Chains A and B, each alone.
Chain A
Amino acid sequence: MPVLQTPQTRLSRRRRSPLPGLGLTLGVTVTFVTLIVLLPLLGLGWQLAQLGWSDYLFVMTDSRTLAALRITLTAAAAATVANGLFGLLLAWVLVRYRFPGRAALDALVDLPFALPTAVAGIALVSLYSQNGWIGALTAPLGFEIAYSWAGIVIAMLFTSVPFAVRAIQPLIEELDPAEEAAALTLGASRWQIFRAVTLPQLMPGILTGTGLSFVRSLGEFGAVIFIAGNIPFETEIASLLIMIRLDEFDYPAAAAIAGTMLALSLVLLVAINIAQTRLYRRFETGA
């Protein structure tokens, strides 16, 4: 603990910086952050505070709300698991192997972040609907992806691909090949090496990547609503239900669902941060 606090104390005890511009830049920054970030967030808090517990519980225990939350959480979880596996695979291939097209593959990973979500949405639905390139293949098998829970998972998977890859990639780059070589000389199989030597060192990245991917999936709207079908109780996600309540001018209900989702996201992000620091510390102390 004291180790962590030292630089902080040193900085705060330093004399005032002689550089100019604090008043102006801090003034601009605080004004901007207040108007653009703080007040809107306080607005949500204010609306929630006016709501009271019983009204809040009334909104949240409504069967349609519960169904939307269940659909959103399960789809996000499924997309996250898929993302963890494929993210690990993509990151591994990108770092460990040299092959033609590697640079292009590396650049492609960022495409889901760059592509506007509405564009992703109509692209995915056109692919997976019955007359789409992929949908036409799965429809005869009696497996429909568009307008179903699976479609929601696909959309969430697409928009959060980069998180897992980009979180795991740097850790694979930092792996010490000597450790794998040592395990090899001790007679470990390739799978044993991966399981016992490599994977534990990648855990912080996998955790961060999947965590961010899950949070992103929880809130994804544009890419999902086109492919989801949006049938209440079946394929209606929480973000869409918030939008519907807004269109009905039911601001308290919208705020209750939004507040719950936002709180969940923030708690997850903080938990990822804490878990990550702990994992890194365990490696530094050489457990």
Chain B
Amino acid sequence: MTRRILIGLAILFAALVIVLPVAAIVSRAFADGAGAWWAAVSEAETLQAVRLTVITALIVLPLNIVFGLCAAWAIARFRFPGRRALLILIEIPFAVSPIIAGLCFLLVYGAYGPIGGALQPWGVQLMFNLTGIVLVSLFVTCPFVVREVLPVLSVTGEDEEKAALTLGASGWQIFRFVTFPNITWAMVYGAILATARAIGEFGAVAVVSGAIRGQTMTLPLQIELLYNDYNTTGAFAAATLLTALALVTLVLRGLIAAIHPARGATP
């Protein structure tokens, strides 16, 4: 009896709080039929937002991977002063809320900030454009790859790498043939989470994008714009794209977790 009540309550809660919102998105997006959905999705400004979002993700992804692998290697394999501080700094973006993250960037890289101000005479502007969007996206995503790869590197240990070293392997060869095969899936897992986050980030990007119509609108910002314009179909159609991305992310996570159980502990 208790069992049935508890299972029922859990399913009811999940249905009400988690499933229903997603159903609402799909229902609203297709309220006027698939044709209206397609027209809304292929609207020029929305396509422009998709393009900007994809470009941002394509810049952020490789930088994130290179940083994540470097940081994990340095922290897992070496002891140096400031190692703990470095670890804490890498984790900090998870504790900083989106608006505050955007504000921090504005204060340093904006026209009135020390770095942004110094660059201005050269005509270099870092905020309210693609550079600004990329910079904050790097901030909000930087812990993902490290926190997946680091535990795997620590668990694998360095015996194999040292063996390769005594056999005369170069640093690159050790990484390519000994280390990398062990951490591939952890890296992919972290990279997927980071990319999904970069694509969906709203608050931090909203602060630094400048929100110039048809120019610096990422897809999440475009959804807000359409919604505030009372273009409900447009907003929800654009939202279906991001919802699909979220579902794909979940499925990929599940698949990787299934084939590679030694993944990290990111919730």
Contact = CB atoms under 8 A, between A and B. Distances in A.
A280 to B, nearest CB: 16
Interface residues of A, number: 89
Contact of A158 (B21, B175, B236, B242): B21
Contacts, number: 270
Nearest to A157: B17
Contact of A111 (B105, B165, B224, B250): B250
A84 to B, nearest CB: 13
Given A93-B10, A239-B97, A119 B243 contact: yes
Given A123-B21, A261-B100, A107 B254 contact: yes
Contacts of B6: 89, 92-93, 97
Interface residues on B, range: 35 or more
B106 interface: yes
A41 B103 contact: no
Interface in B215-251: 220-221, 223-224, 227, 232, 235-236, 239, 242-243, 245-247, 249-250
A86 B158 CA distance: 43
The B interface, classified by DSSP as helix, strand, loop or mixed, is helix
A100 B61 CA distance: 38
Nearest to B98: A221
Contact of A239 (B17, B105, B203): B203
A143 interface: no
Contacts of B106: 246, 251
A183 interface: no
With a 10 A CB-CB cut-off, give which of A101, A108, A109 has the most chain B CB atoms. A108
With a 10 A CB-CB cut-off, give which of B18, B135, B232 has the most chain A CB atoms. B18
A138 to B, nearest CB: 12
Given A122-B223, A122-B235, A222-B220, A115 B107 contact: no
Interface of B: 2-3, 6-7, 9-11, 13-14, 16-22, 24-25, 28, 63, 66-67, 69-71, 73-75, 77-80, 86, 89-90, 92-93, 95-101, 103-109, 112-115, 135, 138-139, 142, 158, 161-162, 165, 170-171, 174-175, 196, 199-203, 206-207, 220-221, 223-224, 227, 232, 235-236, 239, 242-243, 245-247, 249-250, 253-254, 267
List the 7 closest pairs (A to B, CB-CB), nearest first: A219-B97, A116-B200, A43-B108, A40-B104, A222-B202, A20-B171, A123-B21
